[in-house]
Chain A
Amino acid sequence: MTVDAGGPGLAAQADLPEDAAQWSARLRRAGVSAFPPGRLLPDRQPAYVASWIYVFGALTLAALALVVLSGIVLAIEGPTWWHLSRVGLFVNSMHLWSVELFFFFMVVHLWGKFFMAAWRGRRRATWITGVLAFVISIAAAFTGYLSQQNFDSQWIGTQAKDGINATGAGAFFNVLNFGQMLMWHILLLPLAVGLLTLVHVLLVRRRGVVPPFAPDPGDLVVPDGAGTAGDIGVDGTVGR
């Protein structure tokens, strides 16, 4: 790292030749190369994205934001508040129903992407991070049932323990240990879901939204002079 004793401002000294080999400069170049601003936050999407089925990823993100926000309020106020006060019961219900919506939207998003074979075009990592986020979200939801601090959570814990112990996971994941389940629910699993979601969205930005399958050339009827099936671009646009 070089130390500057004054002189020109930071903007002026950026990209000085002697700094090019530093890790900060290399990381910055790699970041800008992988995610130029126009790709990170684009103003337009390809024509094929104009379908309701492409909305469910964003809806899932919105529901996740509501899950996290309501969870933060619950963490601040505590179980007596969420069980007894009117506002607490409301926020508690909002936490539950935003999770219901989160899974609802995520499953519709999953079905849409499955039938589009959304792993095409070097998008395997996008698919896999989505799968992992889905599976870890289920674990996060289940530990939420164990963290309610009521008879329901005690009942669920006692019903779950034999199944969990039968898998061997009970050695380090004890569903009867409330403190452990609460930490998994409010720290470890949300952290994992959040990071996976971030990587998932960044990969969508990097690789782009998956285009629909190109139609079979024999099935495509185009008027004379309007081009042929061979004019279908890699982004799925036809003759544009």
Chain B
Amino acid sequence: MMRIPQELVGRAAQAVIDLNGPGRYVHWGFIQISVANLVVICLMVVVFVAAILVPFPRHGGDDR
């Protein structure tokens, strides 16, 4: 089985999200927030909405 060098995996991950540098910020009026925090907040909103809308699996014939 071919082994993928760890450095390659590391570089590929860096290409997706580069954390080696100063953080990026969003400025909107008096609001200033890092992109990382904004992404997390957006993810929480998405998960919250999905938790309400996505049907919960039920056992067949079980009405409780």
Contacts and interface: CB of A to CB of B under 8 A. Distances in A.
Interface of A: 44, 46-47, 50-53, 55-56, 100, 104, 107-108, 111-112, 240
Interface of B: 40, 43-44, 47-48, 50-52, 54, 56, 58, 63-64
B51 A53 contact: yes
Contacts, number: 36
Contact of A52 (B51, B58, B64): B51
Contacts of B58: 50
A51 B64 contact: no
B63 A47 contact: yes
29 contacts: A46-B64, A47-B63, A47-B64, A51-B51, A51-B52, A51-B56, A52-B50, A52-B51, A52-B52, A52-B54, A52-B56, A53-B48, A53-B51, A53-B52, A55-B51, A56-B51, A100-B40, A104-B40, A104-B43, A104-B44, A104-B47, A108-B44, A108-B48, A108-B51, A111-B44, A111-B48, A112-B48, A112-B51, A240-B64
B61 to A, nearest CB: 14
A56 B50 CA distance: 12
Contacts of B64: 44, 46-47, 240
B40 A50 contact: no
A107 B40 CA distance: 11
A44 B63 CA distance: 12
A50 B51 contact: no
